[in-house]
A and B are shown apart, each in its own frame.
Chain A
């Protein structure tokens, strides 16, 4: 074995974890190589120095702290068991509320049946009354020449158009 190969086996050698064949090879090399022998001795020295480090004992309340944290974990576990039910209930309530809101939402579609068309009719009737009272509307000729205003006149009060009048006059 060469120095490089031996050096990789020195820790297991000192640790007595080598198989007998490799151990014999390392020992033969160490018998001939002063550098590797010195390195092995220094590894042993490091090893024994590390044993000088004192061990510490856990503090008095260590076990109590662990049990406390475990108990807290258990409580949290119970809470988490309930948590999905709470979420489920909240989702159900939210879904119901959304359904009710959508069902009662006022529709914008003019074709739909509801209170809105009658309200619109009332509003246009008020507009017509306001315009009807204007002095200009008393002049029948002006009214018949104003296409925009003629659209506001309900069918019930709309004057007959020119062709109708002509037809009436011819009948007369």
Chain B
């Protein structure tokens, strides 16, 4: 019978470092993706994810299973991400004034390309869409962004997200509504045009 996350963390607390490895393997990918979508930089996201695991390990002696492990973990991750975004905001503004934003800056198609071979126009179109979606999510205020990412990609329920963001469920509903309204405003032109359909339309007959 597999141990729950809480049990694994309690084992880490008791001095079993192999349980920490289990948690590391299980949550490294969700954490890196969450942080990558928060800070929009792969290297920073990995560094922050390492920082989160280090904080978890450091806090092991004081861990009490008062909430779900993921709530605790993503609360740490969200705080780390929000601090990073706030710390780098000024720096990012300076960079954006000096250098034009290129597709490479956004790191839109990081390393793992889809297995299915696609035509170049399809790939370019999809790449544009991905950059557009990333920018739309990235343009949300930090707390809205965190709420959307936890809701959409981590599929957490409202109570859990509210605990992570330290707000009431009613406030979270309102936050999510505003966030999706923002995204709807930005992404509406692309909503009814999936990549494949646009590629077909654009192909000369």
User: Which secondary structure dominates where chain A touches chain B?
Assistant: helix
Give 1 or 0 for each of B174-205: 1 = CB within 8 Å of chain A CB.
10110010011001101110010000000000
Q: Which residues of A contact B111 (CB under 8 A)?
A: 56-57
Chain B CB within 8 A of A66 CB: yes
Q: Which residues of A contact B68 (CB under 8 A)?
A: none
Inter-chain CA distance A69–B28, complex, in Å, is: 15
Chain B CB within 8 A of A160 CB: no
Stretch at the interface among B42-50, B69-77, B78-86, B95-103: B42-50
Distance in angstroms from B191 CB to nearest chain A CB is 3
Q: Which residue of A lies closest to B114 (CB)?
A: A54
Inter-chain CA distance A93–B137, complex, in Å, is: 61
B192 touches A45 (CB 8 A): yes
A62 contact from B28, B151, B153, B158, Cβ within 8 A:
B28
Q: Which residues of A contact B188 (CB under 8 A)?
A: 42, 45
Distance in angstroms from B133 CB to nearest chain A CB is 6
A52 touches B187 (CB 8 A): no
Chain B CB within 8 A of A11 CB: yes
Distance in angstroms from A152 CB to nearest chain B CB is 78
B110 contact from A11, A39, A47, A56, Cβ within 8 A:
A56
B: which residues have CB within 8 A of A? Answer: 17, 20-21, 24-25, 28-29, 32-33, 36-37, 42, 46, 49-50, 53-54, 57-58, 109-112, 114, 126, 129-130, 133-134, 137, 151-153, 157-158, 173-174, 176-177, 180, 183-184, 187-188, 190-192, 195
Q: In chain A, residues 4-37, which have Cβ atoms closer than 8 Å to a Cβ of chain B? A: 7-8, 10-12, 15, 17
Chain B CB within 8 A of A58 CB: yes
B110 touches A54 (CB 8 A): yes
B177 touches A50 (CB 8 A): no
A49 touches B133 (CB 8 A): yes
A56 touches B42 (CB 8 A): yes
Name 9 A/B residue pairs within 8 A (Cβ), A-sorted: A42-B191, A45-B187, A50-B183, A54-B112, A56-B36, A62-B32, A63-B28, A66-B50, A70-B57
Q: Which residues of B contact A91 (CB under 8 A)?
A: none
B29 contact from A10, A47, A55, A73, Cβ within 8 A:
A55
B177 touches A10 (CB 8 A): yes
Q: Which residues of A contact B176 (CB under 8 A)?
A: 11
Chain B CB within 8 A of A59 CB: yes
Chain B CB within 8 A of A105 CB: no
A73 touches B57 (CB 8 A): yes
B191 touches A49 (CB 8 A): yes
Inter-chain CA distance A42–B188, complex, in Å, is: 7
Inter-chain CA distance A45–B192, complex, in Å, is: 7
Q: Which 7 A-B pairs have the closest CB atoms?
A: A45-B191, A56-B110, A58-B32, A66-B53, A46-B183, A58-B28, A42-B184
Q: Which residues of B contact A58 (CB under 8 A)?
A: 28-29, 32, 46, 49
B54 touches A69 (CB 8 A): yes
Residue among A52, A53, A63 with the highest chain B CB neighbour number at 10 A: A53
